[in-house]
Amino acid sequence: MHRLFRKSLRDYVGGALMVLLGLAAILEGRTYQVGSVSHMGPGFFPVWLGAILACSGLAIIVYAKLFIPRDEDEDMLPPEWRAWMLIIASVAAFVGLATYGGLVPATFAVVFLSALADRDNTVLTAAVLAAAITLVCVVVFWWALQLQIPLFRWG
Amino acid sequence: MIAQSLSDLWYGFSVALMPQNLMWSFFGVLIGNLIGVLPGMGALTAISMLLPLTYSMHAVPAILMLAGIFYGSQYGGAIGAILLNLPSHPPHAVSCLDGYPMTQHGRGGAALGITMIASFFAASFGITVMVFASPLLVQIAFKLGPAEIFSVMLLGLLAGATMSRGSPLKGVAMTVFGLLIGVVGTDVNTGAQRFTFGFTELADRVELVALAMGIFGIGDFLRSVNRIHFAGHEAKVRFKDMRPTKAELKRSFMPMLRGTLIGTLFGAMPGTGPTITTFIAYAVERKVSRHPERFGHGAIEGVASPEAASHSKTQVDFIPTMSLGIPGDSVMALLLGALLIQGITPGPQLITEHADLFWGLIASFWVGNVLLIILNVPLIGLWVKMLQVPYRFLFPSALLFIAVGVYSTNNSLFEVTEVLFFGVVGAILMALEFPVAPILLGYVLGPLVEENFRRAVLLARGDLSVFVTRPISAAFIAAALALIVGQLVLGWRARRSLKRMQPA
């Protein structure tokens, strides 16, 4: 299995995240009308969901504290920051380039950048793959399925 | 009653065999099989990628195609598990255990053949159950008021949360998180904008495809990048090799039957995922076998039973989804979402109001399963080749298909940003070992749960006890409680035996 966090830490962080999300939902939900059981407002359901989420987060933390042994020996994997950033950047580039550059640069960018995320791909293989997929994309999506993005556009 | 069902079924075949519907069914099965074979892609990815295509289609062909993708990809997943030991789709992880050793012994073809036979047999059984059980269930369903529907959904959500893999507590948290995502948008009762944070694009709810593709597509890529390699090794399978021997057939007949029954049982229970079903089928087979030591070394029973279970479950899963509007797992949730987008509300009235859709779908299951067999005979060689596409080429291409597919749902780039957001969220949650499938279930059921809860309480004039004073509703609430208690007891036992094994 792929593990990024130690087992105990994983549950503490996860539980805390759920508590935060739950509290955020309660706070935001309270700005809508909450109402009472007999007169429920739009905020009623989200506030209670937030409360349940926060409670389950607490329960995850308590459970981890009580039952999960600290720091077992596990194979830890190094984080893949470069790959993660490239994949995120590739989708962001698609959004940006589809707006300001057109379908061809957007397609090329998303495939090229995300292919670079895999260490086994070189700049050359990534570029070749991107070019090939761009061609497929133009034929299938733009020509055959009439996708509503022009091939090229400026600004 | 039975005669009525049969004549309805006859009508269904006339719908399913209309050239246009048959074509889409075929297309769905083909694409599903193709995507299912690709490493790292399962039914969820396949359906969400093609969902946008159905928005402009008529409801009947759309749903026939999506269902075809579903069971097609399921079959495709088994190929990767058996031939290359790649569980591209968690429910098939079990098929690796004995399927891959069979391949190593040169019987991979036979394992695939048995898979095909078991799938068809189990699917046929599941369909038969569906034909006769659905009208019965509908009669009950008409008696359900909002309070009962809320309780059934609660049971389904709890089952989905606690019976998937991993910690039940974390499953509950994810279900609630999904329900909260379902809240985003315009409140139907008051028109209030909830959790939209000023984005007008969010007024119309979070896009289903964006959520599904984010979590199951991008989230998965983020997790698997540089961790999945595999240069394909040579596994040659021709059609001739797919014929199992007489002895193999005989050995796998009873397991097939048991697997089918287990799948049917689990399909009828809302919320039980496909993975747990196949694992239980495998465990049962090992328990009843006279030679449990053969399991894990290429026992054909270990392939036949789980594969049968997964296929009968798939079919039976459609019963609560279509006739109650309560999806059993995340794939069903996605299909339910597709129906809602088509303007069709699943529920007891669906069978009468959309008879063509319902019976057409059932008949198309049979047609689709036959197509699947016909398709896999000549194409098995091609599938084996596809299995060898390296992940480093696969995921960048899939990323593009996701981006373009999500864009085309509403011609909006905002939704591509949504995919990215949910992808990152999904990857973080998976790294923290949260099960992510319940999110989708919560999201799809969210509005229905809220609507029925509000209506039930309103009808009872603010009296919350309505959920336990109405008998049917009380029964479901009791079942939900029993589920929680059962989980607690099981968890406690597991911990105790763990402690005994490794004394501190």
- Farthest-apart Cα atoms in chain A, separation: 66
The gap from C-alpha B245 to its chain's centroid, in whole angstroms, comes to 32
Query: What b-and-e string marks burial along B457-496, b requiring 16 or more CB atoms within 10 Å of the CB?
Result: beebeeeeebbeebebbbebbebbeebeeebeeebeeeee
What residues 40-99 of chain A have any CB closer than 8 A to a CB of chain B?
40-46, 49-50, 52-53, 56-57, 59-60, 63, 67, 77, 80, 83-84, 87-88, 90-92, 94-95, 98-99
For chain A, the domains span 7-67, 81-144
B10 Cβ neighbours under 8 A, 6+ residues apart: none
Tell me chain B's radius of gyration from C-alpha atoms: 22
Residue A155 confidence (pLDDT)? 63
Distance CA B468, CA B485 (A): 18
Q: How many beta carbons lie within 10 A of that of residue B198, not counting itself? A: 6
Q: Which residues of chain B lie closer than 8 angstroms to A92, CB-CB? A: 420
Q: Considering only CA atoms, which of B346, B307, B368 is closest in space to residue B66?
A: B368
Alpha-carbon distance of B411 to A103, in angstroms, equals 13
Closest residue of chain A to B455, computed from CA coordinates: A40
CA atoms of B333 and B181, how far apart (whole Å): 14
Q: Is B263 exposed, middle or buried (0-12, 13-18, 19+ CB in 10 A)?
A: buried
Rounded to the nearest integer, the mean pLDDT of chain A is 85
Give the distance from CA B430 to its chain's centroid: 19
Quick one: pLDDT at residue A1?
42
Out of A14, A80, A133, closest to residue B400 by CB? A133
Q: Identify the pLDDT of residue A111.
A: 93
Cβ partners under 8 Å of residue B494, min gap 6: none
B329 min Cα distance to partner chain A (Å): 21
Interface probe with B: pick from A9, A45, A111, A145, most Cβ of B within 10 Å: A45
Q: In Å, how far is B422's CA from the nearest CA of chain A?
A: 11
- Which residue among B177, B226, B399 places its CB closest to the CB of A119? B226
Return the pLDDT at A152.
Answer: 86
Print pLDDT tens along chain B (504 aa).
677 778 888 888 888 888 888 999 999 999 888 888 876 667 777 887 788 778 778 888 998 899 898 888 888 888 877 877 766 666 777 787 888 888 878 788 888 888 888 888 998 998 888 888 887 877 777 778 888 888 888 888 887 777 666 688 888 999 999 999 999 988 888 888 888 888 888 888 888 888 888 888 888 888 888 776 654 455 566 666 777 888 888 888 888 899 899 888 887 776 666 777 888 888 888 888 888 778 878 788 888 898 899 888 888 888 888 877 777 777 888 888 888 888 888 777 887 788 888 888 888 888 888 888 888 878 877 877 777 777 788 888 888 888 888 887 778 889 899 999 999 999 999 888 888 888 888 888 888 889 889 888 888 888 888 888 888 889 888 988 888 888 777 777 766 666 665 544
Phi, psi (deg, nearest 5) at residue B339:
-65, -45
ipTM: 0.91
Amino acid present at B370: V
Q: Facing residues of A128 across strands?
A: none
> With an 8 Å Cβ cutoff, are A147 and B408 in contact?
yes
Residue B170 CA to residue A29 CA, distance in Å, equals 23
CB contact under 8 A, A118 and B391: yes
Residue to test with chain B: of A91, A108, A114, A136, most B Cβ within 10 A:
A91
Q: Return the amino acid letter for B351.
A: I
Check: CB of residue A24 under 8 Å from CB of residue A92.
no
What is the distance between the alpha carbons of residues B243 and B241, in angstroms, rounded to a whole number?
A: 6
Res. A2 pLDDT band, cuts 50 70 90:
very low
Looking at residue B163, its pLDDT comes to 65
| DSSP 8-state secondary structure symbol assigned to residue B452 | H
The model's pLDDT over A19-58, given as tens digits with 9 standing for 90+, comes to 999 999 999 988 888 888 888 888 899 999 999 999 999 9
Asked whether the beta carbons of B31 and B46 are under 8 A apart, the reply is: yes
Query: For residue B113, what pLDDT is reported?
Result: 86
Q: What pLDDT score does B342 carry?
A: 84
Which tokens go with B183? 């809240």
Q: Which of B195, B431, B461 sits opposite A28 (nearest CB)?
A: B195
The Cα of B199 is separated from the nearest Cα of chain A by a number of Å equal to: 15
Q: Is A146 exposed, middle or buried (0-12, 13-18, 19+ CB in 10 A)?
A: exposed
Write down the pLDDT at residue B176.
Answer: 94
| Structure-block tokens of residue B8 | 């309805």
For chains A and B, what is the number of CB pairs under 8 angstroms? 175
Chain A residues within an 8 Å CB radius of B194? 29, 32, 42-43, 46
Record the pTM.
Answer: 0.82
Tell which residue, B164, B150, B44, B91, has the closest CA to residue B470.
B150
Instruction: Tell which of B174, B186, B226 to mutate to test the A interface (max A CBs under 10 Å).
Output: B226
Per-residue model confidence (pLDDT) at position B496? 67
Contact between A126 and B454 using a beta-carbon 8 Å cutoff: no
Measured between beta carbons, the chain A residues lying within 8 angstroms of B457 are 37-38, 40
* B71 touches B32 (CB < 8 A): yes
- What tokens does B124 get? 């046929």
Taking the CA of residue B276 and the nearest CA in chain A, the distance in Å comes to 18
Taking contacts as CB-CB distances below 8 angstroms, the residues of chain A near B146 are none
Q: Which domain holds residue B139?
A: 2-501
Based on the structure, what is the number of domains in chain B?
A: 1
The reply to whether A5 touches chain B by the CB within 8 Å rule is yes
Interface membership of A24 toward B (CB under 8 Å): no
Say if the Cβ atoms of B432 and A147 lie within 8 Å: no
Q: Residue A48: exposed, middle, or buried by beta-carbon count in 10 A (0-12, 13-18, 19+)?
A: middle
Taking contacts as CB-CB distances below 8 angstroms, the residues of chain B near A56 are 169, 172-173, 176
Contacts of A2 in chain B (CB under 8 A): 223-224, 227, 431
